[in-house]
């Protein structure tokens, strides 16, 4: 989030702010959910009935309290570990974890627990429950021989007796471990005291299990003795146990068997504890988790395929398909070897550097990021890798705003973020990712809900978060700029642009826009000519004169990214925005290229341009290359005897009456004598052909002339009352300097196809002499409606920068960023945006049943929660003991609750009575103050 926020600040990505703040809202909401899920969770470890060495012990964990989330639990016993995760919804009930027990003896089991939110984004550690000490018994030998037949020596009938089950020997107080069958329940019923019957048998029947009867290592001997103890216990035969340094007298029953097991388990010396074997690294992550993440990443990377080189898209697709192939349950496959991934990374980086000339910038950087993300998919092995894939996917999503910030891009990025967030639970939360594609509806629903809850916070921060005007650092964002106009012009430049329907800029006028024939949007001015190419002239010159002749026209331009510094203003700009200036060729130029959409306010007025012009410049604009187009030069010189204005008319007359045509597909002209080939042979061309040829003729006729590039006309969108100027409206015309008039615009294309100026390009290509445009089709009207929506989106969202934020804050009376009113309002607005989320969380925490929900409300009013499993009657009795003065009101609540919950008939009346009774209860302590 911090990284994407820095990128948005530096590159002015308005939608990037929105996505960053939306993910920030998810970050906050999921943290709140995790904290609520962890609130009140209590864990208790319970000892298992028995534990034997070499196996596993099932440790039962009782969980109480908690909310909607997931519980992660890990057990540690010596060097052994066991871990598991379970869904946690209120009372989770008993859980069981199997912990390996490789050796006999005492074992202390400790636990560590944490609670996750349902998306697995946050982890809340819980207090550790009290540790548990177990006694691990030796594992009984499998296939052990029968126990020895040796018995303890006895004195015959009536002689020595020992514990047994033959005859009644008396009563004694009950001791823990006594069998319930030995309890004298008759005495219990009569006296209330627990007494245990004792029985005995002739001492000669008790078997002796002696260490000397076993052989081998100590652990093998103990294992055989354990098997004999189990065998005699099943047969009900009394036995005694004799070990080196320990003896157990003869006896039988469960207590005696447990004593024998304890003696065997604690026999010294205890075996040394071996370190736990490292768990093998899995060859592939969870197939379901990886499958869902792959689906989300494929959608995230889809726009990259539309702009990256074909070979890169093929490599990325192959890596994703290989990862999908690894998720097959029938035959899982390991990840690609490291050397293959390294070779692909180095080779792909070198190839991208060869294509773009760098690995920095917008195009090369995003393409390289897509390659690295696909390589990370191919080498993913663990849960941590899966979570990194999600984070990298979210970062990649934000890079799409470098190329477009339209509504479709916004919808795509939000959908990608939802799928990526929905893919997280499969890596952490149990039961997630069970859908066919690795994404279940529950996870996708939770992700969508979180995004919806985060939307108010994102909107508030989008409007109020400070927007710096200057970037933090300079780094090329654009790759190859698609501007439409370049710093030089040659045959074919504008005819190629005329086939593009892309928007160059939009213009919104204060009042009615000028007529179509007056819409000349001035761009670069070309004055240097070498026979083939017209170029701009660099260097300082004396500023020419500007004499306004008409009223001012104010308008707002919304420029699309072009990578050029031209602002495309109407002739002639009299007010330019900050950071721009008016060149000596009357061209509005900004100090920084337009690399992002910019919204600018300008003012223009009709004027006489350059009546007082630099003589050096006028001489430069008379230059013609030697030995180039001699026939055209001779034609121009033939007009030198005419007055300056008449020379211009002679040139236009020659074009009108010379059989010239207007076309988008002119023939290729030779490099040598290009103007001659056009004027006397081809006689067909586009605007740059006519402007170049006319400027050549005027220079030959002795008049200073130059070519001006820009746009002409525009399409009025009635849906928004603004002009749309597209790349197809790119145009070139000529300026001729006339004494006492200055620079005069002359459009030779209008002499060939008047419709180009009066009706637009599309009409001029089919009806060159038309004066009105063609009627718009239904498809055109639909496109205009969509463009109006796009323009509105740009105004409200994409073009919301520091200047517009300052204006909004000023109109709201907040002064500006950093002012006291702003600093007071910001935390208040942020807090208000969190209310819907808190209300939803509280609603989810309340029970679904109306009566139970009202009883839940009582816990809030009383300020004391119910204990897990506590009945309504027990809870009311506890409250009454704490606040005796409220006992009648609490009893009324209990009666109404029972009636609403269990009484037959319509519960509406009892529910109303219960609601009123709950409202009469005050917080504990209020009645005693």
In the structure, what pLDDT confidence band is assigned to residue 136 with cuts at 50, 70 and 90?
very high
Q: Which has more pLDDT, 95 or 508?
A: 508
Residues in the chain: 929
The 3 state secondary structure assigned to 479-492 is CCCCCCCCCEECCC
Give CA–CA dist 260/257, Å, rounded: 5
356-382: b (≥16 Cβ within 10 Å) or e: beeeebbbbbbbbbbbbbbbbbbbbee
Q: So where are the chain's domains?
A: 39-136, 161-265, 287-461, 488-766, 846-928
Read off the pLDDT of residues 398-449 as tens digits, 9 standing for 90 and up.
999 988 888 999 999 999 999 999 888 887 765 555 556 667 777 888 888 8
In the structure, what pLDDT confidence band is assigned to residue 523 with cuts at 50, 70 and 90?
very high
* Tokens 């069958």 found at: 181
pLDDT value at residue 479: 45
Could you tell me the maximum CA-CA distance found in the chain, to the nearest angstrom? 160
SS3 state at 869: coil
In the structure, what pLDDT confidence band is assigned to residue 700 with cuts at 50, 70 and 90?
very high
In the structure, what pLDDT confidence band is assigned to residue 784 with cuts at 50, 70 and 90?
confident
Q: Residue 509, Cα to own-chain centre: how many angstroms?
A: 39
Write out the two tokens for 6.
């820095």
Give CA–CA dist 144/215, Å, rounded: 12
Q: Which has more pLDDT, 91 or 816?
A: 816
Strands 722-726 and 715-717: antiparallel
| CB-CB neighbours of 229 under 10 Å | 25
Contact 767, 537 (CB under 8 A): no
Residue 653's closest CA among 669, 667, 638, 670? 638
Residue 851's closest CA among 904, 922, 912? 912
Question: Domain 39-136 belongs to what topology?
Answer: Immunoglobulin-like (2.60.40)
Read off the pLDDT of residues 445-474 as tens digits, 9 standing for 90 and up.
888 888 988 899 899 999 888 888 766 665
**How confident is the model over 888-914, as a mean pLDDT?**
86
Is 731 catalytic? The answer is yes
Computed over every residue of the chain, the mean pLDDT equals 84
Contact 669, 678 (CB under 8 A): yes
Give CA–CA dist 352/370, Å, rounded: 12
Contact 316, 433 (CB under 8 A): no
Give CA–CA dist 620/627, Å, rounded: 18
Is 747 catalytic? The answer is yes
Predicted confidence (pLDDT) at residue 869 exceeds the cutoff of 80: no
Contact partners, residue 601, CB within 8 Å, separation at least 6: 554, 555, 556, 577
Predicted confidence (pLDDT) at residue 609 exceeds the cutoff of 50: yes
SS3 state at 158: coil
pLDDT value at residue 155: 41
pLDDT > 70: what percent of the chain? 88
pLDDT value at residue 282: 41
**How confident is the model over 650-661, as a mean pLDDT?**
93
In the structure, what pLDDT confidence band is assigned to residue 764 with cuts at 50, 70 and 90?
low
Predicted confidence (pLDDT) at residue 157 exceeds the cutoff of 60: no
In the structure, what pLDDT confidence band is assigned to residue 927 with cuts at 50, 70 and 90?
very low
Among 76-80, 285-289, 324-328, the range with the most confident prediction by mean pLDDT is 76-80
Write out the two tokens for 206.
């008790």
**How confident is the model over 662-678, as a mean pLDDT?**
88
Predicted confidence (pLDDT) at residue 48 exceeds the cutoff of 80: yes
Q: Please report the beta strands in 694-835, taking only residues with DSSP state E, as ranges in sequence order.
A: 705-712, 715-717, 722-726, 730-738, 742-746
**How confident is the model over 263-271, as a mean pLDDT?**
90
Could you tell me where the DSSP H helices lie in 465-523? 493-497
Residue of 137, 256, 400, 731 marked active site: 731
Predicted confidence (pLDDT) at residue 392 exceeds the cutoff of 90: yes
Read off the pLDDT of residues 571-591 as tens digits, 9 standing for 90 and up.
899 888 888 999 999 999 988
In the structure, what pLDDT confidence band is assigned to residue 220 with cuts at 50, 70 and 90?
very high
Predicted confidence (pLDDT) at residue 666 exceeds the cutoff of 70: yes
Contact partners, residue 503, CB within 8 Å, separation at least 6: 560, 724, 725, 726, 727, 787
**Distances from the Cα of 427 to the Cα of 84, 111, 291, 329, 388, angstroms:** 13, 22, 11, 17, 11
Give CA–CA dist 812/588, Å, rounded: 33
Residue 349's closest CA among 377, 320, 318, 370? 370
**How confident is the model over 235-247, as a mean pLDDT?**
89
Residue of 178, 571, 747, 799 marked active site: 747
Q: Which secondary structure element, helix H or strand E, spans residue 230, and what is its range?
A: helix 218-235
Give CA–CA dist 778/71, Å, rounded: 59
Lowest mean per-residue pLDDT among 1-15, 115-129, 300-314, 421-435: 421-435
Sign of torsion over alpha carbons 175, 177, 182, 188: positive
Q: Which has more pLDDT, 1 or 166?
A: 1
Strands 207-210 and 239-243: parallel
Give CA–CA dist 547/554, Å, rounded: 18
Give CA–CA dist 540/520, Å, rounded: 25
**How confident is the model over 204-228, as a mean pLDDT?**
89
Residue of 267, 673, 687, 787 marked active site: 687
**How confident is the model over 364-369, as a mean pLDDT?**
91
In the structure, what pLDDT confidence band is assigned to residue 396 with cuts at 50, 70 and 90?
very high
């Amino acid at each position: 989030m911090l990284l994407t926020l820095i990128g948005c600040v530096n590159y002015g990505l308005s939608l990037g702010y929105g996505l960053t703040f939306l993910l920030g809202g998810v970050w906050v909401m999921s943290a709140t959910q995790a904290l609520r899920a962890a609130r009140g969770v209590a864990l208790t470890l319970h000892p298992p009935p028995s534990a034997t060495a070499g196996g596993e012990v099932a440790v039962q964990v009782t969980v109480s309290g908690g909310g909607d989330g997931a519980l992660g639990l890990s057990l540690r016993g010596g060097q052994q570990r066991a871990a598991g995760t379970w869904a946690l919804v209120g009372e989770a009930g008993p859980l069981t974890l199997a912990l390996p027990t490789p050796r006999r003896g005492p074992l202390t089991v400790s636990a560590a627990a944490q609670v996750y939110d349902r998306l697995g984004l946050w982890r809340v550690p819980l207090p550790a429950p009290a540790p548990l000490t177990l006694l691990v018994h030796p594992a009984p030998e499998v296939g052990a021989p029968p126990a020895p037949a040796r018995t303890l020596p006895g004195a015959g009938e009536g002689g020595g007796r020992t514990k047994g089950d033959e005859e009644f020997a008396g009563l004694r107080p009950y001791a823990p471990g006594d069998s319930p069958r030995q309890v004298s329940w008759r005495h219990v019923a009569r006296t209330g005291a627990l007494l245990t019957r004792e029985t005995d048998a002739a001492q000669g029947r008790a078997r002796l299990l002696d260490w000397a009867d076993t052989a081998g290592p100590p652990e093998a001997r103990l294992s055989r003795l354990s098997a004999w103890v189990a065998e005699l216990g099943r047969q009900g035969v009394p036995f005694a146990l004799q070990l080196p340094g320990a003896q157990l007298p003869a006896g039988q029953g469960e207590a005696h068997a447990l004593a024998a097991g304890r003696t065997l388990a604690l026999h010294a010396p205890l075996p040394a504890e071996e370190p736990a074997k490292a768990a093998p690294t899995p060859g592939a992550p969870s197939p379901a988790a990886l499958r869902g993440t792959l689906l989300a990443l494929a959608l995230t990377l889809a726009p990259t395929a539309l702009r990256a080189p074909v070979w890169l898209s093929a490599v990325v697709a192959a890596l994703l398909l290989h990862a999908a192939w690894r998720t097959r349950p029938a035959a899982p496959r390991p990840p690609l070897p490291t050397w293959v991934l390294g070779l692909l990374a180095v080779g792909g980086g070198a190839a991208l550097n060869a294509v773009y000339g760098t690995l920095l910038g917008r195009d090369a950087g995003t393409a390289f990021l897509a390659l690295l993300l696909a390589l990370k998919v191919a080498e993913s092995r663990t849960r941590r890798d899966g979570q990194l894939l999600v984070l990298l996917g979210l970062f990649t999503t934000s890079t799409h705003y470098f190329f477009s910030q339209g509504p479709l891009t916004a919808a795509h990025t939000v959908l990608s973020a939802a799928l990526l967030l929905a893919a997280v639970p499969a890596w952490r939360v149990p039961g997630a990712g069970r859908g066919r594609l690795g994404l279940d509806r529950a996870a996708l629903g939770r992700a969508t809900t979180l995004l919806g809850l985060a939307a108010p916070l994102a909107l508030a921060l989008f409007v109020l978060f400070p927007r710096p005007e200057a970037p933090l650092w300079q780094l090329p964002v654009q790759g190859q700029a698609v501007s439409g106009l370049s710093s030089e012009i040659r045959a074919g430049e504008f005819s190629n642009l005329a086939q593009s329907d892309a928007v160059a800029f939009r213009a919104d006028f204060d009042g009615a826009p000028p007529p179509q024939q007056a819409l000349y949007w001035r761009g670069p001015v070309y004055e240097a000519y070498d026979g083939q190419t017209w170029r701009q002239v660099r260097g300082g010159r004396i500023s020419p004169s500007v004499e306004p002749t008409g009223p001012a026209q104010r308008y707002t331009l919304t420029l699309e990214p072009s990578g050029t510094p031209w602002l495309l203003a109407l002739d002639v700009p009299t007010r330019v925005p900050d950071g721009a200036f008016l060149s000596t060729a009357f061209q509005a130029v900004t100090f920084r290229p337009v690399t992002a959409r910019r919204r600018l306010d300008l003012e223009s007025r009709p004027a006489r341009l350059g009546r007082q012009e630099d003589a050096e410049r006028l001489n430069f604009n008379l230059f013609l290359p030697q030995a180039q187009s001699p026939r055209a030069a001779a034609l121009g010189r033939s007009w030198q005897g005419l007055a300056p204005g008449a020379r211009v008319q002679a040139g236009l007359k020659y074009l009108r009456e010379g059989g010239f045509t207007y076309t988008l597909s002119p023939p290729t002209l030779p490099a040598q004598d290009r103007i001659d080939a056009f004027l006397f042979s081809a006689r067909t061309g586009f605007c740059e052909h006519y402007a170049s040829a006319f400027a050549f003729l005027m220079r030959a006729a002795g008049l200073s002339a130059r070519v001006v590039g820009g746009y002409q006309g525009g399409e009025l969108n009635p849906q928004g009352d603004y002009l749309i100027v597209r790349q197809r409206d790119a145009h070139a015309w000529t300026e001729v300097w006339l004494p006492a008039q200055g620079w005069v615009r002359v459009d030779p294309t209008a002499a060939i196809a008047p419709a180009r100026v009066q009706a637009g390009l599309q009409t001029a290509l089919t009806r060159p002499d038309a004066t009105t445009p063609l009627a718009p089709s239904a498809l055109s009207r639909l496109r205009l409606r969509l463009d109006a929506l796009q323009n509105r989106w740009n105004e409200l969202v994409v073009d919301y920068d520091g200047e517009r934020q300052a204006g909004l804050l000023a109109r709201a009376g907040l002064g500006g960023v950093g002012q006291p009113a702003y600093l007071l309002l910001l935390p208040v607005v942020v807090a208000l945006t969190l209310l819907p989320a808190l209300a939803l969380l509280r609603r989810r925490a309340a029970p679904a049943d109306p009566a139970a929900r009202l009883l839940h409300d009582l816990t809030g009013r009383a300020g004391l929660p119910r204990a897990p499993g506590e009945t309504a009657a027990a809870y009311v009795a506890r409250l009454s003991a704490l606040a005796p003065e409220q006992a009648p009101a609490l009893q009324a609540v209990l009666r109404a609750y029972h009636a609403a919950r269990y009484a037959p008939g319509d519960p509406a009346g009892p529910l109303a009575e219960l609601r009123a009774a709950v409202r009469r209860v005050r917080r504990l302590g209020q009645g005693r103050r």
